[in-house]
Structure 1
Amino acid sequence: MSTFTMPSLGADMEAGTLVEWLKHPGDSVSHGDIIAVVETDKGAIEVEVFEDGQLDVLLVEEGCKVPVGTPLAEISADGEGMAETLPSASPSSIAPRHAPAPVASEVRHAAAPAVTGLWASPAARQLARQHGIDLAKIAGTGQDGAIVRDDVEAVARSSGASARPPKSAKAAPDLAPMRRAIAAAMAKSKREIPHYYLSHRFSVLPATEWLNAHNSQRPPPERLLFSVLLLKSVALALTEFPEFNGFYRSDAFEPVEEIHVGSAISIRGGGLAAPAIHNTGNLTLAKLMDELRDLVARTRRGEFRSSEISDPTVTVSSLGERGVDVLWPVIYPPQVAIFGFGTVRQQPWAKDGGLIVHPVMTASLAADHRANDGHRGALLLRRVADLLNKPEAL
């Protein structure tokens, strides 16, 4: 028997609200299954389970806000025991066996009935709550009959309601909590982490020439963005500099063998998130491009998975498309490093005793001096540049 607890989904998270159970007592669960939706300051997050077995009993009912680490459910290994059957129609019947009572209750789904047994994306559920739409009356068009945002929008339009609430009404509840979460994390970072900063300016002529040639032979859906080369170069470089990949916790650095690069993604209206692309260095460039497209689309819809929020071991932020030459990023605790990449610009470049025009960019690194030092940081930045300019080997 194991206990499934409220996960920590960021350094600033102290508690979360259990919005919905997507699995029920007696259901089989497998590693990677999404079994619940939890609401935090970052939005509604799909929470995964990381073991195989059977959901035995639910310990916290929907709508309750509980601290990180609170037992939410018990999972038994296959054949270990009989699941405790609980009436799904009455949330109050879900009684803890030995878990503490929830510290607070924030029932957030009064506008629309809670629907158990249906799978719908967090964005679809949020829109349904805003319009008072009963999800039980919607036929899902997503994978395996899942209800997606488009399904809810179609019902909203057919009923005469606006498919998308006015921006003025939506921005405050969606982005204000996220801005508070970002502020708390960044304040903690600057208060506790002894940052040091490095930058490296270099030509990216080989990378841009290779990328242009690669994309010219492929249709738009198969073309690569320059940012994919950046992510892969960082991931491969970190295999040689493990002291930059991991977490600083309990006054010690904890290296992580896997490299899960978080990609900073802006959310329209002022939000920001940096979810992970798992095992970044092991992916082909084409697969990495697919993963990045999917991650950006879901992040901007507010659809996160718990592992994407909690697993980044390092972060990459690129503001090249905004015309910024250099950025000095702030480390997201408990990570110990973050990379920044500026705009690729055509600039004079000295080569072989002459002056020619090359595409040039500046890479920056902010790192935690408790876990590593500037000498190693400089070598790391140089290695990223070398790898980036050998894209055929990425």
Structure 2
Amino acid sequence: MSDFKMPALGADMEAGTLVEWLVKPGDRVKSGDVIAVVETQKGAIEVEVFAEGVVSDILIPVGERVPVGTVLAQIDGAGVAPPPVEPAIVAPKPALQALAEAPPRPTVAPQVSRRKITPAARRRAAALNLDLETILKGTGVEGSIRLADVEAGASVARPAPPLTRRGLDLSQMRQAIAAAMSRSKREIPHYYLAETVDLHLSLTWLEAFNADRPPIERILPAVLFLKAAALALREQSKLNGAYENGVFLPAAGIHVGWAIALRGGGLIAPAIRDTDKKTLAELMAAMRDLVERARRGNLRSSELTSPTITVTSVGDRGAESVTGVIYPPQVAIVGFGRVATRPWAVKGRVESRPLVTVTLAADHRVTDGHLGGLYLAAVARLLQEPEKL
């Protein structure tokens, strides 16, 4: 038996509201299935399960707000259904005849058997002020009443109005961002580095790549930034992971959190899993999908819990540089400013070149400026070889 708990969808989350169950007791689930929707400051998040088996009990009803770590449901990993109640043994015909011929016995009031009920179900029934006699059938072993039976009986007795997803609450999100960033600056000893990179080769290659493709298949410069940042982590893996309980935990994969600015304000950074292994076309499709779903408040829990580093790009309308604040428990954040045309020395002469400022904010408890500088140098080198990205 495994517990399905309210996940921590970021360092700023303390509690969430269950707005929808997508399974019921008895349903079989496998790892990666979305089984519930939880409302947080970041909107309605589809929560996945990472166990396999049969849903045995749903413990938290729709509409209830509970702290992170609260058990929401239980999954029977064995996936064994409750054994059926054995049928009553039918007496053979001679015994029935003997019973029919026997003299009548005095009438005795029938003895009422006590119904079996699990402790959790009894407590929930008391909290709901639900008469257990209204539950006609228990689904547990030998007909015992389980928590799921109490919830089902309560929904029949007092059907609750459907709870709608509220979507993004930008004021709450802003408070959550402020809390997380305040914690980051208070607890993490940041150091900062910057590198200016000549994008002449990258943009020339990109222009040729996009020339014969329809708009839907074209790639933005931000995709080159994302892939270069991910590949450089293969060389400097100490920037890719988490710092928890006084220890750095290196990540098994490179899952870059892509910072997305939301309309009306707010910021969210869901992960693109295995960023370093995806092609540029796959990354472009993943970025489009994330931006679309993030802006309508429809992300999955794994996309918010799995980033191993964050990359932010301010785009064409942003500032020339951006210095980020580390999102705990990550240990680094990479920023790409606006591409600006400026004078640049090339082989002893000054030319007009497209330049971008790449910044790194990293955790001094894990790395230092030397390693951070090597990382930025790797990013710059990779952007000089766009055909290898």
Q: Same fold (TM over 0.5)?
A: yes
> Does structure 2 conserve the Cα–Cα contact (< 8 Å) formed by 1:30 and 1:51?
yes
Amino acid in the other structure paired with 1:113: P
- Whole-angstrom distance in 2 between the partners of 1:366 and 1:185: 16
1:336 to 328, 331, 336: 331
Among all aligned residue pairs of Structure 1 and Structure 2, give the percentage whose two residues are the same amino acid.
55
> Does structure 1 conserve the Cα–Cα contact (< 8 Å) formed by 2:222 and 2:315?
no
Cα distance, 1:90 vs structure 2: 4.1
- For 1:298, the equivalent position in structure 2 comes to 293
- For 1:380, the equivalent position in structure 2 comes to 375
> Does structure 2 conserve the Cα–Cα contact (< 8 Å) formed by 1:247 and 1:255?
yes
2:243 to 226, 236, 248: 248
Superposed CA deviations along residues 230-275 of structure 1, whole A, max 9, x for unmatched, are 1111111111111101111111111111111001101111111011
Cα distance, 1:78 vs structure 2: 4.7
- For 1:113, the equivalent position in structure 2 comes to 162
- Whole-angstrom distance in 2 between the partners of 1:239 and 1:91: 55
- For 1:44, the equivalent position in structure 2 comes to 44
- For 1:145, the equivalent position in structure 2 comes to none
Cα distance, 1:126 vs structure 2: 2.9
Superposed CA deviations along residues 109-129 of structure 1, whole A, max 9, x for unmatched, are 97x535xxxxxxxxxx437xx
- Whole-angstrom distance in 1 between the partners of 2:325 and 2:335: 10
> Does structure 1 conserve the Cα–Cα contact (< 8 Å) formed by 2:2 and 2:51?
no
- For 2:113, the equivalent position in structure 1 comes to none
> Does structure 1 conserve the Cα–Cα contact (< 8 Å) formed by 2:196 and 2:357?
yes
Counterparts of residues 93-172 of structure 1 (less than 5 Å): 113-114=162-163, 125-126=164-165
Unaligned regions of 5+ residues in structure 2, if any?
Answer: 83-138, 141-145
SS in 1 for 2:182: helix
Counterparts of residues 1-394 of structure 1 (less than 5 Å): 1-82=1-82, 86=148, 90=152, 92=154, 113-114=162-163, 125-126=164-165, 174-394=169-389
> Does structure 2 conserve the Cα–Cα contact (< 8 Å) formed by 1:62 and 1:91?
no
User: How many residue pairs end up in the alignment?
Assistant: 325
> Does structure 2 conserve the Cα–Cα contact (< 8 Å) formed by 1:87 and 1:93?
no
**Length-normalised TM-score, structure 1:** 0.79
- Whole-angstrom distance in 2 between the partners of 1:296 and 1:87: 41
- Whole-angstrom distance in 2 between the partners of 1:91 and 1:271: 41
SS in 1 for 2:74: strand
Amino acid in the other structure paired with 1:209: T
SS in 2 for 1:24: coil
Cα distance, 1:187 vs structure 2: 0.4
- Whole-angstrom distance in 2 between the partners of 1:336 and 1:232: 19
Cα distance, 1:68 vs structure 2: 1.1
SS in 2 for 1:13: coil
SS in 2 for 1:322: coil
Superposed CA deviations along residues 308-348 of structure 1, whole A, max 9, x for unmatched, are 11111100011132231111111111110000101111111
> Does structure 2 conserve the Cα–Cα contact (< 8 Å) formed by 1:61 and 1:92?
no
> Does structure 1 conserve the Cα–Cα contact (< 8 Å) formed by 2:43 and 2:169?
yes
> Does structure 1 conserve the Cα–Cα contact (< 8 Å) formed by 2:44 and 2:298?
yes
SS in 2 for 1:45: strand
- For 1:120, the equivalent position in structure 2 comes to none
Comparing 3-12 and 71-80, the one that deviates more: 71-80
Amino acid in the other structure paired with 1:58: I
Over 3 Å counting, the alpha-carbon distance change for 1:311 and 1:88 in structure 2 is: farther
SS in 2 for 1:321: coil
Over 3 Å counting, the alpha-carbon distance change for 1:79 and 1:87 in structure 2 is: closer
> Does structure 2 conserve the Cα–Cα contact (< 8 Å) formed by 1:16 and 1:66?
yes
- Whole-angstrom distance in 1 between the partners of 2:31 and 2:310: 25
Unaligned regions of 5+ residues in structure 1, if any?
Answer: 95-108, 115-124, 128-169
Cα distance, 1:19 vs structure 2: 1.2
- Whole-angstrom distance in 1 between the partners of 2:43 and 2:232: 32
- Whole-angstrom distance in 1 between the partners of 2:279 and 2:17: 37
Over 3 Å counting, the alpha-carbon distance change for 1:389 and 1:226 in structure 2 is: same
Q: Which has the larger radius of gyration?
A: 2
Cα distance, 1:52 vs structure 2: 2.1
> Does structure 1 conserve the Cα–Cα contact (< 8 Å) formed by 2:19 and 2:165?
no
SS in 2 for 1:320: coil
